[in-house]
Amino acid sequence: KLDLAGRIARSLGSNLREERVQAVDSVDLSVMPGEVLGLVGESGCGKSTLGRMLCSILPRSEGKIYYKGQDIDTLKGQDLKEYNMNVQMIFQDPFASLNPRKRVRNIIGEAPLFHKLTSSSELDDYLAKVMLRCGLDPSYTHRYPHQFSGGQRQRIGIARAMAVQPECLVCDESVAALDVSIQAQILNLFMELRNELNLTCLFISHDLGVVEHISDRIAVMYLGRVVEVAPVDEIFSNPFHPYTKALLDEVPRLDRRGVDFTPLKGEIPSPLDPPSGCHFHPRCPHAMDICKKEAPIDIEIAPGRRTCCHLATMP
Ligand code: SF4
Ligand code: MG
């Protein structure tokens, strides 16, 4: 079980100024073993920041992450190595995340050699198995990333992660840069790997339509806060939070009769200066006076369903 709790912030640097942005605020989320949690929201809502903090790519200023009950800040030596191996990140842009000067053999093979999952003499066999499993031709180990198509490059990114036999994948917009037909192939590969290996996944996307088929549960984020968590079917058939409803409105579907959808007005506000109270109030069609003054608290509205909205506490 993976637990994220507390308030988490990061620093953003730019040429002009450096300001602290609370990219992730009061997030409390768990991912169960073997579960796929889809994390959705517009760009800038903090979902990538959350994913990167899980993989120790970004530091936290506050808050805790627990992996199998253990606070990851207390891990040292071999335990820390194992955590870093067990939780692997798969990025959005497979081209930017693959070193253009390295051959596929090194890109995929370095980490399993380092972690002693294979030896130099057995590396070819090891690579062949991983590459085949990820839909890559094992005879291409001498090639460079630019010699592959976008979809194949993403398979290389997945093979690099799978080569260390992880338990948990953090996929950040992992199909967003691909054509729709290729997206489906890569999503299918994720589902196969997940089913075969009982992988736990945090699947981050701005697009509810992408996470729908792969997720067991969905967490919706808005400006650094998780506003709704529910099983995937219920997010689609009976969304609670006005922001979830607005996001759903952007997913073209035929089977959503009976749910009142409200289009999203306005731009997402700057995370440097988020609105008071409920961050969503300037865009919310149901905003009340209290919404401007007080941030709603996270409450359980049904077993396994949580939301952050004052409407949930109205009689
Ligand atoms: Fe809308 Fe108020 Fe709920 Fe925020 S708390 S989503 S502004 S109704
Ligand atoms: Mg992002």
Domain of residue 243, residue span:
2-313
Best of 240, 241, 280, 290 for a ligand 1 pocket test (most atoms within 8 Å of beta carbon) = 280
Condensed to tens digits (0 to 9), the pLDDT of residues 35-57 reads: 999 999 888 888 888 888 888 88
Cα–Cα distance between 260 and 8 in angstroms, integer? 34
CATH number at residue 235: 3.40.50.300
Does position 232 have pLDDT exceeding 80, yes or no? yes
What contacts 5, CB < 8 A, 6 or more positions away? 27, 28, 63, 64, 65, 66
Q: If you average pLDDT over every residue of the chain, what do you get?
A: 87
Ligand 1 atom with least separation from CA of 310: 5
Per the CB < 8 A criterion, the answer to whether 190 and 171 are in contact is: yes
Does position 1 have pLDDT exceeding 80, yes or no? no
**Which of 51, 63, 45 has the alpha carbon at shortest distance from 221?**
45
Distance of CA 253 to the CA centre of its chain: 23
Identify the three-state secondary structure at position 207: coil
Predicted pLDDT at 18: 45
In 192-257 the beta strands, taken as DSSP E runs, fall at 200-205, 217-222, 225-231
What contacts 149, CB < 8 A, 6 or more positions away? none
Identify the three-state secondary structure at position 298: strand
Number of domains in the chain: 1
Does position 167 have pLDDT exceeding 70, yes or no? yes
Distance of CA 180 to the CA centre of its chain: 19
- Percent of the residues in the chain that have a pLDDT greater than 70, as a whole number: 88
How far away, in angstroms, is 177 Cα from ligand 2 center?
12
Condensed to tens digits (0 to 9), the pLDDT of residues 98-111 reads: 999 999 999 999 99
**Neighbouring-strand partners of residue 221:** 226
What residue type is 220 in one-letter code? V
Cα–Cα distance between 60 and 54 in angstroms, integer? 10
Predicted pLDDT at 158: 96
ipTM: 0.96
Cα–Cα distance between 3 and 39 in angstroms, integer? 14
Predicted pLDDT at 6: 45
Best of 288, 290, 292, 313 for a ligand 1 pocket test (most atoms within 8 Å of beta carbon) = 288
Per the CB < 8 A criterion, the answer to whether 309 and 227 are in contact is: yes
Please tell me the residue having the least CA distance from ligand 1 atom 7: 281
Does position 275 have pLDDT exceeding 70, yes or no? yes
